């Protein structure tokens, strides 16, 4: 059985994925942004092993989450599920002076990838909106552009695919893939979202734990356990390297 960390698993798709894996007898470690949420997550996913705690909008706390995870020993897979949505009407600034949506959706994912000891598999949650992201990677922190919450979200979901593909290229011993769960009626997606909520967590669980040949690939993008074409820019090595370099500069954490 696999040992899997799921970030952002206090509710939504992360919690749903954790429940599926516990039901399949996998060992699951949860993550929540504070102690209260961690207790709620543990109660909501009975049978989970433990929870790590930290606010991923903070570089310092994200680094601490990585330390907590490394202190627990080896993992077979990490599902980078934590994220915030596209409805921020203004540029909300974090303790590090970064846009909230970028700090959580892009930079924390990079920092955790760089600092947590390599698992066998990495799974990154993206969105179909990644195709509308800005592949130029200019003004990542929205200091020059007028704020647009939807565009900022799309940018970060493109970053997640770029990161998944960069890791696949640089770490051939790790299976690294990205996926879109669909537009589903979660807290992020909203009550009117049309896609199947029951199907939404299954692809990340499959990529993290399945021994099927279709799941044991790297550098691919999925929707409902089937490969789907991603934005072509995400496969460009120079774009991958630029994102890694910018994330290293902004976080102070070099890519290993």
CA distance 159 to 243: 7
Q: What is the DSSP letter of 80?
A: E
Structure tokens at 226: 């089937």
Structure tokens at 107: 């930079």
Contact 52, 61 (CB under 8 A): no
213-223 burial, b at 16+ Cβ within 10 Å, e below that, comes to eebeebbbbbb
Structure tokens at 25: 């007898």
Closest CA to 49 of 25, 33, 70: 25
Out of 86, 110, 124, 157, which one is annotated catalytic?
A: 157
- Indicate if 153 belongs to the active site: yes
CA distance 152 to 146: 10
Structure tokens at 119: 């698992």
CA distance 118 to 74: 8
CA distance 51 to 156: 25
28: left (phi over 0), alpha (psi -120 to 50) or beta: beta
Out of 110, 124, 153, 221, which one is annotated catalytic?
A: 153
- Indicate if 157 belongs to the active site: yes
Contact 205, 21 (CB under 8 A): yes
* CA dihedral (10, 187, 13, 59) positive or negative: negative
Active site residues: 153, 157
């Amino acid at each position: 059985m696999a040992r899997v960390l799921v970030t952002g698993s206090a509710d939504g798709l992360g919690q749903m994925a954790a429940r599926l894996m516990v039901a399949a007898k996998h060992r699951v470690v949860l993550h929540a942004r504070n102690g209260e949420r961690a207790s709620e997550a543990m109660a909501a996913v009975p049978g989970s092993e433990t929870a790590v705690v930290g606010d991923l909008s903070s570089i310092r706390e994200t680094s601490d989450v990585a330390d907590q995870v490394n202190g627990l020993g080896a993992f077979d897979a990490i599902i980078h599920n934590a994220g915030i949505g596209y409805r921020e009407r203004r540029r909300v600034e974090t303790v590090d002076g970064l846009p909230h949506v970028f700090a959580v959706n892009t930079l924390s994912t990079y920092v955790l990838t760089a600092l947590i000891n390599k698992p066998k598999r990495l799974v990154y949650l993206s969105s179909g909106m990644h195709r509308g992201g800005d592949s130029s990677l200019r003004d990542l922190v929205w200091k020059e552009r007028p704020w647009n919450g939807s565009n900022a979200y799309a940018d970060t979901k493109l970053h997640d695919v770029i990161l998944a593909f960069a890791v696949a290229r640089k770490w051939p011993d790790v299976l690294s893939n990205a996926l879109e769960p669909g537009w589903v009626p979660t807290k992020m997606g909203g009550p009117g979202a049309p896609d199947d909520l029951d199907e939404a967590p299954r692809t990340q669980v499959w990529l993290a734990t399945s021994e099927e040949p279709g799941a044991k690939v790297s550098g691919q993008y999925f929707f409902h356990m089937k490969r789907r074409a991603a934005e072509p820019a995400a496969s460009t090595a120079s774009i991958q390297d630029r994102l890694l370099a910018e994330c290293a500069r902004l976080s102070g954490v070099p890519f290993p």
